[in-house]
A and B are shown apart, each in its own frame.
Chain A
Amino acid sequence: MKFSVTKEKLLEGLQQVQNVVSTRTTLPILSNVLLQANGNEVHLTTTDLDVGVRGSFEAQVEKEGATTLPARRLFNIIRELPSSEIQFDVDGKNTASIRSGQSFFKILGLPEEEFPPLPKFEGAKVVTIRQKDLRDGLRKTSYAISTDETRYVLNGVLFSFKENKLTLVATDGRRLAMLDIELEFPRSHEADIIVPTKAVTELQRLLAEDGEVKVSMGSGQIAFDLNNTLLVSKLIEGNYPNYKQVIPSEAKERVTLERETFLNSLRRVSLLASDKSNSIKLNFSKNNIEITANTPEVGEAKESLPVAYKGRDLSIAFNPEFLMAPLRNLIEDEVFLDLIDEMSPGVLKIQTPFLYVLMPMRISA
């Protein structure tokens, strides 16, 4: 295999795939990136056996072929090369010679055959989504994913394809974020699948403002084809809990909030939320919310926020981090907070089909 390429193109290509490479793998081949030179392109593939990414870059290919090279090391070398022009020459023993300006590197690789192939998606159900919609949807939901390994099915985002709608759901059992994307697909493509966190994170990095993403659902696997990059992932096996039952059907009180103003107040007051209880209290009274927090033996914080509120006086406590997370990830200027009482979930909404359900904390006397 022999090709030449510019430093910028190669770096860009490696950056797209290298996040998947696990730093502490038991199999040496998984630390490597697969390089395949064909026509005027070089394809790059990485995998940790759960998630795999395949990308490519343009190159002047003199001799076609394939090899695998240590991904992290290769990236570090390319980044430091002195000249923009890079020549790659790989011999039959998978030894790569890299030349750039006055620099020369020799890197030992492993044969292509040892690299685990990415799964095939023949006969899979395919749905096309606008990249912008999916990126926006994942941004507004994925922060609620559970990191608790005992609740394995919650360690990802639910993609529910139903009735010409893709519903994205993430929850950790204390809060839940949900968003709908209008889509068109045949009835036969309806499915509930759980995409694991790592794939969601990678996908968010790869999704762009323009263009479409082709989603292929195979058995136990999913592929996201973003024109020049392909992300494949194992799905989480198991049944997602019945999340619909925890969404309150009605609200007693509604308050409209300026998202950034509310977020800034919460951020300031939460500085005095104690590590132990980690709660922040919202005291609702006529046309006002008072946000308070205190830490025994440290001090307290208080801030008033004028709002249009006409309901009864109400005090409710939340984990400040859980309340701030959606506010940070939404982009709308205005949000609505619906409440029932001190012990029932609060619901954050916007004008479009999104909601965030958050369970309060017990207020100690």
Chain B
Amino acid sequence: MDCFYAAIEVRDRPALRGKPVGVGGTRDRRGVLTTCNYEAREFGVHSAMPTFMALQRCPNLIVLPTRFDVYRREAAVIRGILHRFSLLIEPLSLDEAYVDLTAHPGAPAAVAKVIRDMIFQKTKLTSSAGIGPNKLVAKIASEVNKPNGQLEVKPEEVPDFMEKLPVRKIWGIGAKTERKLEELRVKTCGELQSFSRPELVDLFGKFGIDLYDLCRGIDHRPVEPDRPRKSLSTEETFSIDLTTLEQCEERLAELFEQLMADLAQKETTRTITKIFVKLKFADFTRTTVERAGLEPSLDAFRSLLAEGFARTGKNVRLLGLGVRFAEPEKTSAQLPLL
């Protein structure tokens, strides 16, 4: 979906059309933008940007609070549409999903267009699509003609498509790897292709094995409709660092609400094995406090937060909390004792 949350807000408030709009926390509450529309992006505003910074770049930016219940409702409608075309759907987030169209008789690009039209009819929201022989290519292609566009990369077009592609577009390559590659004068996937697999393993460890394939547009991961989630978490980076435990506790309570809502929506039956609180400090060091056997309650998270906060006493830049799930059960012939 194209700037999903912001698009929903603009749709529901027609007066905002054409104006720069962001969704997220407000400036005086040291909020961060969850997303913003294309009008705002022209000012250099982007998602995950602290609201105060966004307002510096775009003083007319209209910042709205998030309404996750509404976004979830829309996401459910969209997922319903996708299900008419394939049973193999792997959601990445509320507004993004892989759809395996191998079994669909229609031409994939045409099917994608139909899906997008249907989504627009039902929700008045625009979306973009990438059509490719695997998840890697499809995902990268989906970004090319955003917003409200699509791109098909046919199998025979993959080599050309990858050749000029910046390495950063490959999943798993972040700022650090990109810098390392720049030192080797590698900017595009085509340039990366001149390395042998052993050379890549030397440079990047295990990731090198996959990287050799990825830079050629080869990706064997299947679309997995119900890949069991290992954990569920939520976090927030603050525009102004938190200095006291009380401040952290205040934010913790908000994040806790969000996590509980997520849990209720996404994972209602799984056994929770651990809960954790993650802290990133002003100097970018981080710590995680994890505890097994505790129910995810605000009190329990509070005690973990206190422990993590006490470890350094530094100002807090990011606060996150989450739960880890048990592996799905295997049946056994062993009889239980207790």
Contact = CB atoms under 8 A, between A and B. Distances in A.
A357 interface: yes
Interface stretch (A52-60, A69-77, A171-179): A171-179
Interface stretch (A131-139, A147-155, A223-231, A259-267): A147-155
A241 B282 CA distance: 44
A174 B336 contact: yes
Given A27-B287, A27-B312, A171-B338, A361 B333 contact: yes
Interface string A331-365: 00000000000010100000000000111111010
B333 A150 contact: no
A174 B333 CA distance: 11
A175 B334 CA distance: 10
Interface in A287-345: 317, 319, 343, 345
Given A150-B326, A176-B338, A238-B293, A277 B333 contact: yes
The 5 A-B pairs at the shortest CB distance, nearest first, are namely A152-B293, A26-B287, A359-B337, A362-B333, A359-B335
B274 interface: yes
Contact of B311 (A27, A175, A359): A27
A357 B312 CA distance: 46
A173 B336 contact: yes
A105 interface: no
Interface string A229-245: 00000001110010100
B334 A319 contact: yes
Contacts of B286: 26
Contact of B338 (A238, A246, A277): A246
B292 A364 contact: no
Contact of A149 (B273, B285, B334): B273
B337 A357 contact: yes
Given A277-B333, A361-B333, A362-B333, A153 B338 contact: no
Interface in B95-130: none
A244 B34 CA distance: 54
Contacts of A279: 333
A361 B311 CA distance: 47
B261 to A, nearest CB: 24
A149 B338 contact: no
B293 A176 contact: no
A174 B288 contact: no
A149 B336 contact: no
B337 A362 contact: no
A175 B292 CA distance: 22
A153 B333 contact: no
Nearest to A358: B337
B271 interface: yes
Contacts of A26: 285-288
A238 B293 CA distance: 9
A173 B338 contact: yes
A360 B293 contact: no
B265 to A, nearest CB: 23
Contacts of A358: 337
B274 A362 contact: no
Interface string B299-338: 0000000010001100000000000001000000111111
A14 B307 CA distance: 28
Given A150-B326, A359-B336, A361-B334, 10 more contacts: A49-B307, A149-B326, A153-B293, A171-B338, A173-B337, A174-B336, A174-B338, A343-B335, A360-B335, A364-B333
Contacts of A359: 334-337
8 contacts: A27-B311, A150-B292, A152-B293, A174-B335, A246-B338, A357-B337, A358-B337, A359-B334
* Among B274, B285, B293, B312: residue with most chain A CB under 10 A: B293
Contacts of A277: 333
Interface in B239-276: 271, 273-274
Contacts of B292: 149-150, 152, 155
A321 to B, nearest CB: 11
Contacts of A236: 293
B338 A150 contact: no
Contacts of B338: 171, 173-174, 176, 241, 243, 246
Contacts of A343: 335
A297 B271 CA distance: 37
B337 A174 contact: yes
B248 to A, nearest CB: 17
B297 to A, nearest CB: 14
Nearest to B325: A150
Nearest to A151: B293
A157 B285 CA distance: 35
A262 to B, nearest CB: 21
Nearest to A154: B338
A319 B336 CA distance: 12
A9 to B, nearest CB: 32
Contacts of A174: 334-338
A182 B285 CA distance: 50
Nearest to A241: B338
Contacts of B335: 174, 343, 359-362
